[in-house]
Amino acid sequence: MNDPADAEVTHVPERSPSSILMPLLDVRNLTVDYTTPEGARLRAIEDVSFTLERGQALGIVGESGCGKTTAMMALMRLLPAAGRVSGGQVLFDGDDMLELTAAEFRRRRWLDMAMVFQGAMNALNPVRTVGDQIREAIVTHLAWPRDQVERRVGELLDLVGIPPWRAVQYPHQYSGGMRQRAMIAMALACKPQLLVADEPTTALDVMIQAQIINLLDRLRRDLDLALIIVTHDLGVVAEACQQVLVMYGGQVAEYGPVEHVFTDPRHPYTERLLRAFPDIGGGRELQSIPGTPPRLSDLPSGCRFHPRCPLAVERCRSETPALRPVGRDQMAACHLA
Ligand code: SF4
């Protein structure tokens, strides 16, 4: 895991005054293709665009296979070998992250942006103490003196609500919620400005889910952290996010402030998703969405939601709707929005 090329940084860089004026993250038309073993090219996500300010949280929602995780893996330049970014820009603090060399990006991935992966709490090494694993995350990227590293391990555990003395314990001595907290602490080791959490509450019971969401929300506010939460749970977004990006079939279906999108959804897919969460959807009757999301190898023509959309008209079958403004700060990709 240690890469000497990475362990050159002794301090976390300050922000330049000009960078405070621009969004921290500006993703423009991000497009990712996969190549199958047979050589076929499949478009996994297409023209995904959004911005994120410091201290704000964006929820990315949609059913499994809609491209949420692919978009984040592209953002973090962690796509599998078969995938590649075939278009778009990822501007972070004004720099196009897709233009950096692999070594430059690897260093910035921990200093500027970090990710807690889905199921990460099960990825802790069972034969090493939690403190040791957090320590490694620090010394791999920051050439700090030993006492500073030790202080930081304690600070990080404290930050996520784990008593620092528990640094000497092993993962099996932690509950599931504590292991998830430890993974969040590790991701924050180098004080990134952006944290991406992929399904951070999956496999946790309801009480612990609420604690993790509260923790992420507190970290966002206390550290002025930009946060992206990838989830299929709209309740998590309602609790912890200011913006929401709804994805369907690898494209953005709707995007905007949570308070607008959840109270006045303008895309039929968003509206259907909300109906599957009656607590958020205004007490409406619980309804699942008939049918299944499209396979990448068999994407429908026109609007990708048309085979499942109760409002579809002839135009929807042939013409792809563009993402366009449909209200204050709200955008939707629907001919009828
Ligand atoms: Fe439904 Fe047509 Fe809108 Fe697509 S464009 S969501 S099919 S109404």
pLDDT above 60 for 159: yes
169-172 contact pairs (CB < 8 A, 24+): 169/129, 169/130, 170/126, 170/127, 170/128, 170/129, 170/130, 171/124, 171/125, 171/126, 171/130, 172/126
Ligand 1 neighbours, Cβ below 6 Å, are 267-268, 303, 305-306, 309, 311-312, 316, 321, 334-336
Tell me which of 266, 273, 299, 313 to substitute to probe ligand 1's pocket, judged by most ligand atoms within 8 Å of the beta carbon. Answer: 313
- The closest-lying atom of ligand 1 relative to the alpha carbon of residue 337 is 3
Please report the atom of ligand 1 found closest to the CA of residue 309.
1
Q: What is the pLDDT of residues 85-94, one digit of tens each?
A: 999 999 999 8
Higher pLDDT pick, 12 / 271: 271
The answer, yes or no, to whether residue 274 has pLDDT greater than 80, is yes
Q: Would you place residue 251 in the very low, low, confident or very high pLDDT band (cuts 50, 70, 90)?
A: very high
Q: Separation of 311 CA from ligand 1 center, angstroms?
A: 6
Tens digits of residue pLDDT in 39-58: 999 999 999 999 999 999 99
* pLDDT-above-70 percentage for the chain: 91
The conformation of residue 172, written as its DSSP 8-state character, comes to G
Query: How many A from CA of 213 to the centre of ligand 1?
Result: 33
- Over residues 298-313, the mean pLDDT reads 95
Which of 63, 51, 66, 30 is closest to 242 using CA atoms?
A: 51
The per-residue pLDDT for 11 is: 53
Q: Which atom of ligand 1 is nearest to the CA of 311?
A: 8
pLDDT tens for residues 96-115? 999 999 888 887 888 899 99
pLDDT at 292 over 50: yes
Which residue's CA is the closest to the ligand 1 atom numbered 7?
306
